[in-house]
A and B are shown apart, each in its own frame.
Chain A
């Protein structure tokens, strides 16, 4: 059974600081996704990582994938309040036949 673990599950940080969210998964896969969810809203796709060593960046967010370590990271640089949200990683195994398996999410609060 595929397990996807995120940590931390809750993070409160100040604006201007840097931090990293970690996503570990238990089964070989080279397809990993990051989603963002604002309170009371749906999930929005942020990054798609499709190979070992893949790195994607959008503004102050950067995601990377190490398939050998079964680890993805989401790095936040110089955080701003607008990045406050819940971030989910999800893993795709076996060609996506089973849909995506999601982590429990990291609830991120960025305080002025």
Chain B
């Protein structure tokens, strides 16, 4: 029962470098999300994918791109990292964004990214 798996757990980048955070879920969930968590800011939605083949911007999408590779996998890419993107990133998934009675999110363990 892996749930939601994120890699890597830790990463240090230099400004301008690129990287991809990987996320996979084994719960057959339709919807997947990327959040970032910063001290005193709570969690803010970066991008989400309501179903395979669709992606939409959340509250803070600038500087990020996403790919919903298949039903299981949802990746987050930083094309040119900036110090403002230093954060903890959480991937989450849920059954069905639109029709479920409750949209309970299951979170991954988090990826701590530092941009120097």
On chain B, the number of residues with a Cβ less than 8 Å from chain A's Cβ atoms is 30
By the criterion CB–CB under 8 Å, are A97 and B98 in contact? yes
Closest to B58 in A: A99
Residues facing A in B1-60 (CB within 8 A) are: 31, 33, 35, 40-45, 48, 50, 58-59
**B43: nearest residue on chain A (CB-CB)?**
A102
Least Cβ–Cβ distance between B94 and chain A, in angstroms: 7
Most chain A CB within 10 A, of B44, B45, B108, is at: B45
Q: How many A-B residue pairs have CB under 8 A?
A: 70
Stretch at the interface among B69-77, B78-86, B99-107: B99-107
A25–B43 CA distance with the chains assembled, in angstroms: 15
Which residue of the partner chain, among B41, B43, B98, contacts A96 with CB atoms under 8 Å? B98
Do A42 and B103 have beta carbons less than 8 Å apart?
no
Binding site of B, secondary structure by majority: helix, strand, loop or mixed?
loop
Out of A4, A45, A95, A98, name the residue touching B105 (CB < 8 Å): A45
Is the Cβ of A98 less than 8 Å from the Cβ of B104? no
Q: Are B107 and A96 neighbours in the complex by a CB distance under 8 Å?
A: no
Q: Which residues of A contact B45 (CB under 8 A)?
A: 98-101
Give the chain A neighbours of B106 by CB distance below 8 A.
45
Distance of A103 from chain B, by nearest CB (Å): 6
Structural contact, B90 and A45, CB atoms closer than 8 A: no
With A98-B48, A102-B43 in contact, is A45–B108 under 8 Å at CB?
A: no
In the complex, the chain A residue whose C-beta lies closest to that of B44 is A102
Further pairs besides A31-B102, A45-B106, A99-B103: 10, Cβ < 8 Å: A9-B40, A42-B109, A43-B43, A48-B102, A50-B102, A96-B31, A98-B48, A101-B59, A104-B40, A104-B41
Interfacial residues, chain B to chain A (CB-CB below 8 A): 31, 33, 35, 40-45, 48, 50, 58-59, 90, 92, 94, 97-110
- CB-defined A-B contacts under 8 Å, sample of 22: A9-B40, A33-B104, A41-B109, A41-B110, A42-B90, A42-B109, A43-B43, A45-B104, A50-B101, A95-B97, A96-B94, A96-B97, A96-B98, A98-B45, A98-B48, A99-B45, A99-B58, A101-B59, A103-B42, A104-B41, A104-B42, A105-B42
